[in-house]
Amino acid sequence: MANLNKVILIGRLTRDPETRAFANGGMVASFGFAVTNRRKNSQTGQWEDDPMFIDAEAFNRGEFGKLADIVRDRCRKGSQVMIEGKLHLDRWDDKTTGQKRSKHKIVVDNLQLLDPRTGGGTRWAGVAAATKRWTPRRDRPPTAGRSARPRRPGGVGRPSNRTITATRATSRFNSEDPARAGHKLPTRGYS
C-alpha cells in the first residue's frame, strides 16, 4: 500500500514568526497560517469565506538549509506565502488537566513568498532555491526573436530527397493556382 504525506497551500501568516535556536546550531521558525475556502451559502445565495487555521514550522536543515532564517527575516503577519510540506501530529499531556492532547501542524519543506517586492516579481526561498539561483546571461545581447535567425534558402523545413507536385498537396496549397502548378515541394511523409 502506497502512502503520501504532502501538502501545498497558499495563504497568509496569522502572526509574526517565532524562532528557537538549538544547541547544535539549527533553528526552527514557528508561525500561524490561514487558508480561506470560499463556499456558497445555500440559504442566502451569497459566497462566504470559511477560514482554516493551522500552525507551521520551518527548519534549517542540512548544510545549506536556511529556510528558518528566511522565514524569520522576510515573513511578517499578513504576508502571503505558498508553503509545501508534510502534515505532522503533535501529541502531549496537558499539564493542568492531565488529559492527552494532539494537534496537526505542517512541517515546511519549501516556501515561496508571494508578496510583490518593490521591483515586482515574487521571491522564492527553500533548500533547492538556496543552492540553485538563475541569473540572466549578460555576455551577449538578446536576439530579436525568430526573424534574427538565419534561414535556409528555399523556404521552411528540412530538405528532402522526395518531392511531390503542388496538385497532390491540396491541404497546404491551392492546386488550381496556375503559379503553383508543377511546383516541387519538400515532402513530409507523403508517398
Instruction: Show the cell assigned to 21.
Output: 535556536
Backbone phi, psi, residue 29, to 5° = -115, 120
Contact 54, 87 (CB under 8 A): no
Q: What is the pLDDT of residues 29-66, one digit of tens each?
A: 999 999 998 898 889 989 998 899 999 999 988 777 78
Contact 123, 74 (CB under 8 A): yes
> pTM for the whole thing?
0.57
**Cα–Cα nearest to 85, from 166, 30, 43:** 30
Contact 131, 66 (CB under 8 A): no
- State the Cα–Cα distance between residues 133 and 7, nearest whole angstrom: 24
User: What does the pLDDT average to over 163-173?
Assistant: 45
Cell 545581447 sits on residue: 141
Spell out the domain ranges in the chain: 7-131, 158-191
- State the Cα–Cα distance between residues 24 and 191, nearest whole angstrom: 72
Q: What pLDDT score does 133 carry?
A: 44
For domain 7-131, the CATH superfamily is Nucleic acid-binding proteins (2.40.50.140)
Q: What is the pLDDT of residues 124-146, one digit of tens each?
A: 444 444 444 444 545 555 555 54
User: Helix or strand or coil: residue 135?
Assistant: coil
